[in-house]
Structure 1
Amino acid sequence: MATTDRLREIYDRMLAHWGPQHWWPAETPLEVMVGAILTQNTAWKNVERAIANLKGAGVLSLTALAELPTALLAEYIRPAGYYNIKAGRLHNLLHFITDHHGDDLQSFLAQPLPQLREQLLSVKGVGRETADSILLYAAGLPIFVVDAYTHRILVRHQVIDEDFGYEAIQELFMDNLECDAQLYNEYHALLVRVGNVYCKKKNPACAACPLQGM
């Protein structure tokens, strides 16, 4: 089966099994960006607790977060783990935005995709997956987000070799699927769901997986 057809079948099976995932679970683009930093190396439920702390303190705005002392920000996001590191990364990103765009987050996110991606990746602590999550989910731009679940699922179903890196996997999706932010959004969210529920690193539940037999 051609790669395009295989990727389409994977998507169709997951969507038929679960339906739309309504990702990213956030109320604003800023909340997406904060979540993209906080979700590094932790479970999403911990991110939700950290964001709830920020909302409860009334500081979930670009200006308020940027002006918080880093140590206080770290306390608010403590549930997300690695809170001192993540507070520093959040401030790196927020200060980059306020330095170049003031409090106008929309003008930052309205930049062309290549330019915005380059700027995000220039921020210390923002890697490819985090940058692409911001591009796709906060800015609504068509770029495919690759994570460990994506790599694991494609390797196990023999779509890619083990040594495929981030860019090669991203190109695979973007070369074989239409350039559609909503499709990339849904596809990534469904892969995360499969990875969480069935395609676990240890003891995968293959028999019940919607991708079984592919």
Structure 2
Amino acid sequence: MTNNYQRIYHKLFNFYGPQNWWPADTTFEMMIGAILVQNTNWRNVEKALMNVKPYLTPERMEKLTTEELAQLIRSSGFFNIKAKRIKAFLKWFKTYDYDIATIKKLDKQTRRNELLSINGIGRETADVMLLYAFDQPMFVVDAYARRIFYRLGFNMPSAYDNFREQVEEAVPGSLQLFNEFHALLVEHAKVYCQKMPICEGCPLLEICEQR
């Protein structure tokens, strides 16, 4: 099983190359993007981030009203809900004086539990933040990973954490590996393993059951 996961990673990496994720100028922008991308595509997030660019520090964003923030991120969809989620996240972040280095000193489970306690931060969003902002090696389980692993022939657990733990146990992963693995799966789902798959030319075709 371990070799199968590693084969997938290496085939994708050799095909697509390093992805340099997460696309953001600052760690704070990365975390805001992780909330904005919920239930939408990255193109819509980019528009929202462009609108909110003048306020992309926690101190400036905190001064916006929820209504003002909602209008700025309108293109991301569910903007009223996401504005409230960002405000809830900022409230938590402020308890650490917006200091990422301090949060990194917390143990892994404490960090994850605290993120999950924030209104609107689920497992996937929390793990994306842990991976890309707080330097914690995590396998992010998203809809793309589920789709690709299923089509390849893996019978993965339906529960999020069971899926994540199975991959993490099978792949002795560094931070860089899990960073790339998530980004590569996202790229592959966009290019080949779409809702209607494009199998011709797919770098995983020889190991795929095409379910």
TM above 0.5: yes
Aligned partner of 1:44 in structure 2 is: 42
Residue from 76, 82, 93 that aligns with 1:86: 82
Distance in 1 between the 2:164 and 2:152 partners? 17
Aligned to 2:9: 11
Report the identity percentage: 42
SS at match of 1:101: coil
Q: Which runs of 4+ in 1 moved over 4 A?
A: none
The answer for the alignment partner of 2:203 in structure 1 is 210
For 2:104 and 2:58, the matched residues in 1 are separated by: 13
Shift of 1:109: 4.0
Map Cα deviations across residues 82-125 of structure 1 (whole Å, 9 max, x no partner): 11110000001111121x22343432344222111000000010
* Correspondences of 1:55-94 after superposition (within 5 Å): 55=53, 58-94=54-90
Once the 2 structures are TM-superposed, how far is the Cα of residue 184 of structure 1 from its aligned partner?
0.3
Report if aligned partners of 1:110, 1:139 keep a CA contact under 8 Å in 2. Answer: no
Moved more, 189-198 or 124-133: 189-198
Q: Is the 8 A contact 1:39 1:47 kept in 2?
A: yes
**Which stretches in structure 2 are left out of the alignment for 5+ residues?**
none
Query: What is the TM-score of this pair, normalised by structure 1?
Result: 0.93
1:124 to 119, 127, 132: 119
Amino acid at match of 2:203: P
Q: Which residue identity does 1:12 align to in structure 2?
A: H
Please say if residues 124 and 140 of structure 2, whose CA atoms lie closer than 8 Å, have aligned partners that are also in contact: yes
Counterpart CA distance in 1 for 2:120 and 2:101 is 22
CA contact (8 A) 1:149 1:191 kept: yes
Q: Report the residue type matching 1:207 in the other structure.
A: E
Aligned mates of 1:83, 1:137 — CA distance in 2: 23
Deviation at 1:75, TM superposition (A): 0.8
CA contact (8 A) 1:62 1:105 kept: no
Residue in 1 aligned with 2:170?
176
**2:193, 2:13 → 1: CA distance?**
16
The code of the aligned residue for 1:74 comes to A
**Alpha-carbon displacement from aligned partner over 1:34-81 (angstroms, at most 9, x marks no partner):** 0000000111011111111111xx211011112210000011111111
For normalisation by structure 2, the TM-score amounts to 0.94
- Where structure 1 has 5 or more consecutive residues not aligned to the other structure, the ranges are none
- Cross-structure match for 1:32: 30
Contact residue 103 and residue 134 of structure 2 kept, 8 A:
no
- CA contact under 8 A between 2:100 and 2:134: conserved in structure 1? no
Name the count of aligned residue pairs: 207
